[in-house]
Structure formats: C-alpha cells, structure tokens
Amino acid sequence: MPIALSNARILRGAKLLDGHSVLIDQGRIEDIVPTAVARGRGVEHLDLGGGLLLPGLIDTQVNGGGGVLFNDAPTVESIRRIGQAHRRFGTTGFLPTLISTDLDVVAQAIGAVRAAVASGVPGVLGIHIEGPFLSFERKGVHDPAKLRELDESAVGLLTSLGTGRTMVTLAPEMTTPQIIRRLTEAGVIVSAGHTNATYAQVTTALQHGLRGFTHLFNAMSQLTPREPGVVGAALEDRTSWCGIIVDGEHVAAPVLKIALRCKPHERFMLVTDAMPALGTDLRSFELQGRHITVSGSVCYDEKGRLAGSNIDLASCVRNAIDRLGLPLPEAVRMASLYPAEFLGLADELGRIEPGYRANMVLTDERLNVRASWIDGEREGA
C-alpha cells in the first residue's frame, strides 16, 4: 500500500517545502503533493512530527563502521554491518572502501560487493578501491609493502565488478594515461589520491578520464609558487569532483572556504573516510598491524599521522553549515546530489522527486537523524 510521509519540511531542490506530503510506492517516490490532496488519496499516512525530510546521504569513502574494518573482513556480512552503522547517521548509499592491500584481497572484496548488491544489502552502491596503486611519498598510513604500480595485469580485476559502481583511487604517476583511459572506458570512476604527481601529470590524467580527487588537500602534492601540484590542478579544473572531509582536523576551515571559491560547489562532495569505530565506543583498533587511536572525530597512528576519521556524514553536513557558512540546502546537496552525480546515479538518487528511489532521511533542525528510508524501507522512529 502506498504511504504518505506528512508533517515535515521537505528539502526539494534548494527550497524547504511546507504543507506537502511525499507519496512512496514500491520503493519509489510516486509524487509530492499538498497534504490535503494526499489525504484524499486513500493512502496510509505517517506523521513525521515536523522534522526535516532530506534526500538520503551518499558517502563514497567508507572504510568501516560498527566495529568492522572492510579490509579485515571483505564479506557480505561486513558490508551489511558497516552500512547499518552509517545508516543511523543518515547515510543511505555508500561505497565500502578497501585500503591498499594484496590483489587477492581486492578480488575478495569485489566478490563480496557483487554478492551484497545481488542480495539487496541496503545502501551498498559499489566499491571504492583506494590503492594499492599509490605514491610511496604520499602514502599516509597505507602500508608501503602493499603499494605497487598499476599495469595491464590488474586492469581485468579492477573492471570485474559487473554491477553497481567501481571507484579506484590511484596516483597518476603510478600508472600510464593509457591505462587510466582503459579503466574509464570500462566504466571505472578514477580518482587521484595519495599522489605526488606534478601538475602536468594530473592534467594529462584529466584528459584521459580522471574524474575526481580523493580527500582534497590530504596526501597529495600541494599548491606552490612554481609547481601547482595535485591541489592546483584539482582547483583549476572545473569539471572534476573533489571529496572533502569536514571534521575540523583533516583540513582547516579557511582552506576549504578558499577551495569553494575556486570551482563550482557542485563539484565538491562530503566524505567521511570513516574507520571501524564509527557508531561504537571503540577508542582504538588495529590497521594492518598498526595500533590506531581514536581521538574525537579523527584517528591517528603511533606516529601521530591521520588515519581516517570517526565522523558520520550528517555531522559533516552540520560542519559545512557551521564552519564553512553554507546554507543547509547546499550542504545537504554536497552529501547527496553531488556524490550521486559523481557516481553517475543522479537520475535516481540525491533528490526528493517523483520517480526517484525513496532514499530519504528524517532529522531535527540540528540534523540529528530520527529515521531513514532506503528504497522505501523505513528504519528508525
């Protein structure tokens, strides 16, 4: 039976719509109509208590959550548990992310995601393979023993998912423009990250299909007076997407404000880079044999290096409003519509519009999550 979600301020485009209801049927948004009209439709009504009804949030970089690190257990059950942990904070679509590892583990992870999509695990949209084709100079906490160049031998593996979306973060200098082109022509979304590439190398990669930049500013060559580096190339190019972690630690707010002035806002997307502690009381965990400490919204290794985050995507949206001065509709779009566009899914996700999948989140005015819907299935109050 169709359901009408009523008594909420609905974020439709750039405006909050009052006095309307969202009609859901068979996992899709059927219509958005005045509530008085909805009452005459003979459908079941759900009173949302005056909250904010937002498009479901989409996170393209999720290493773990709920006590699970995807690298440690690349299985369907791990994906399910990670998705459940993030869903409590408004994330209704995500890419489980694999940190640099051996290629046989990459194959296991791809197989797990393929099976998770086939079995309908809520929220999983594909896979993000972050490495091992990364720069030794900009490796961050990635295990240097796992890093390698990307040659022809790995192309078949990286293009083997066969469903959903595959995102690969690589250092352009660790492969060739021709291989980047082969990956993109096969449907892989290629992003530059953990890279010490020159401006010229990044520009060439962009010409061969590079689509985005992973956690902009972190683990990449910086903008300098005579060498613009990866950061300079990312900010100059107006067509590529930039993932940003707005946790107050990975990048200072004034730096992010400058970045937002350099290219259209619709080319930025909020990501968490979340680790297994998200949604738990864990204060530490192991990452490929190293001890990681959780401190507030971030994680550090024994040497004090950043090792991912402990922040949820709704909090990133809140921080974008509070610290970057963005209006709520724009901050939400950076965590819903813009990542959907990056993934090539903007015709079905990222908006509250008729025909779209019924992926939504109900929050209070401070973006504390009350309930969520994935393909029309509700969880929460």
pLDDT digits (tens, 9 = 90+) for 149-174: 999 999 999 999 999 999 999 999 99
φ, ψ of residue 221 in degrees (nearest 5): -65, 135
Residue 286: what pLDDT? 96
Are 70 and 78 spatial neighbours (Cβ–Cβ below 8 Å)? yes
Establish whether 59 is a catalytic residue.
no
Residue from 355, 353, 352, 313 nearest 334 by CA: 313
What is the average per-residue pLDDT within 333-353?
A: 98
Cα–Cα distance, 380 to 303 (Å, whole number)? 40
pLDDT digits (tens, 9 = 90+) for 289-308: 999 999 999 999 999 999 99
**Annotated catalytic residue, options 31, 143, 237, 273:** 273
Strand 44-55 with 68-69, pairing = unpaired
- Read off the pLDDT band of 261 (50, 70, 90): very high
DSSP structure string for 172-199: GGGS-HHHHHHHHHTT-EEEE-SB---H
pLDDT at 381 over 80: no
Residues 6+ apart with CB under 8 A from 17: 9, 10, 11, 32
Average pLDDT, the chain: 97
Q: What tokens does 183 get? A: 């990956």
pLDDT digits (tens, 9 = 90+) for 190-222: 999 999 999 999 999 999 999 999 999 999 999
Q: Which CATH class is domain 3-55+352-380?
A: mainly beta
Residue 380: what pLDDT? 87
Q: What tokens does 34 get? A: 């005045």
Residue 1: what pLDDT? 78
Domain ranges for the chain = 3-55+352-380, 57-342
Strand partners, 12: 15
Residue 113: what pLDDT? 98
Residue 42: what pLDDT? 81
The one-letter amino acid at 7 = N
What is the average per-residue pLDDT within 323-345?
A: 98
Residue 360: what pLDDT? 98
Helices (H), 18-122: 35-39, 76-87, 103-118
**CA distances for 156 relative to 160, 179, 182, 271, angstroms:** 6, 11, 10, 28
**Could you check whether 3-55+352-380 and 57-342 share the same CATH topology?**
no
Q: What is the DSSP letter of 205?
A: H
Q: Which CATH class is domain 57-342?
A: alpha beta
pLDDT at 284 over 80: yes
Residue 52: what pLDDT? 98
Q: What tokens does 19 get? A: 């006095």
pLDDT digits (tens, 9 = 90+) for 344-378: 999 999 999 999 999 999 999 999 999 999 999 99
